[in-house]
Amino acid sequence: MLDYDAEAAAYDATRGGVPRAEAAARALLGLVPESARTLLDIGCGTGLVTERMALARPALRVLGTDASYGMARFARQRIGAVALADARRLPLPAAAVDAVGTVWLLHLLRGAGDVRAVVSEAARVLRPGGVFVTTVDKDAAHDVGSDIDELFAPYLRPSPSDPEELVVAYAAEAGLDVVGENRFLGHGQGRTPQRAAREVRAGHFVSRLELPGAAGDDLAAALLALPEPDRPRPEPEYRLLAFRRRG
């Protein structure tokens, strides 16, 4: 797993920056009713997406939480109302907000019961009729049929933590029903073989790849041997699902 405290300063620049954040914020808000007055962004990271949501809808009070101090520090400079918190135990009372969002979070949760716990917490803090919006199948979105993906294929984890069917099942347990979906482009996420090799060596693919022993070095070498190593491959398209709390 990445050290998000150490990554915080460079995180936005290496993850598509403002264009990617604006695309995510626009797609998420497209699933949140105009009547919503409060939104909690769980795992808000540096707050770049959170800030874009606040700017796009001034009448919406946007809050954030993140488990990384470094990330939360950046987010607090952008939106102010940010708490350092475990997504499985949110520092909010029940039925406190009108909407909850999680963007690029569930795929990182590899502990037993973690995804179920986060979905349950999102449902707990939602008011009846409130909306929970989350990315699903995040790592699968990066499989764009490129030569990089062909090299990744033998190392893919057999069981991602955020497949649609699993998230939908956990949501149903928590009293949440599917009410919509949206998609957005991962601007700046079309990888080059050179970048993919650097990220493999830095351990950036732990949610997607299993690289025991020297497999990481072998994969990085194979990536660097691909033609046009500095040409970006196609950008991923991410999926959001929206759920409404019953009652």
Q: How far is CA 67 from the centre of its chain?
A: 14
**Summary mean pLDDT of the chain:** 94
pLDDT at 173: 98
Q: What is the pLDDT of residue 163?
A: 96
What is the predicted pLDDT for the residue at 11?
A: 65
Give pLDDT tens digits for 31-70: 999 999 999 999 999 999 999 999 999 999 999 999 999 9
- pLDDT at position 205 is 87
Three-state DSSP string of the chain: CCCHHHHHHHHHHHCCHHHHHHHHHHHHHCCCCCCCCEEEEECCCCCHHHHHHHHHCCCCEEEEEECCHHHHHHHHHHHCCEEECCCCCCCCCCCCEEEEEECCCHHHCCCCCHHHHHHHHHHHHEEEEEEEEEEECHHHHCCCCCHHHHHHHHHECCCCCCCHHHHHHHHHHCCEEEEEEEEEECCCCCCCHHHHHHHHHHCCCCCCECCCCCHHHHHHHHHHCCCCCCCCCCCCEEEEEEEEECC
Q: Is the pLDDT of residue 1 over 60?
A: no
Note whether 233 and 148 are within 8 A (CB). Answer: yes
Mean pLDDT of the region 7-26: 79
pLDDT at 5: 66
What is the pTM (predicted TM-score) of this model? 0.91
The pLDDT value recorded for residue 10 is: 66
Closest CA to 141 of 176, 110, 103, 111: 103
Query: What gap in Å lies between CA 27 and CA 112, rounded to an integer?
Result: 30
pLDDT digits (tens, 9 = 90+) for 146-188: 999 999 999 999 889 999 999 999 999 999 999 999 999 999 8
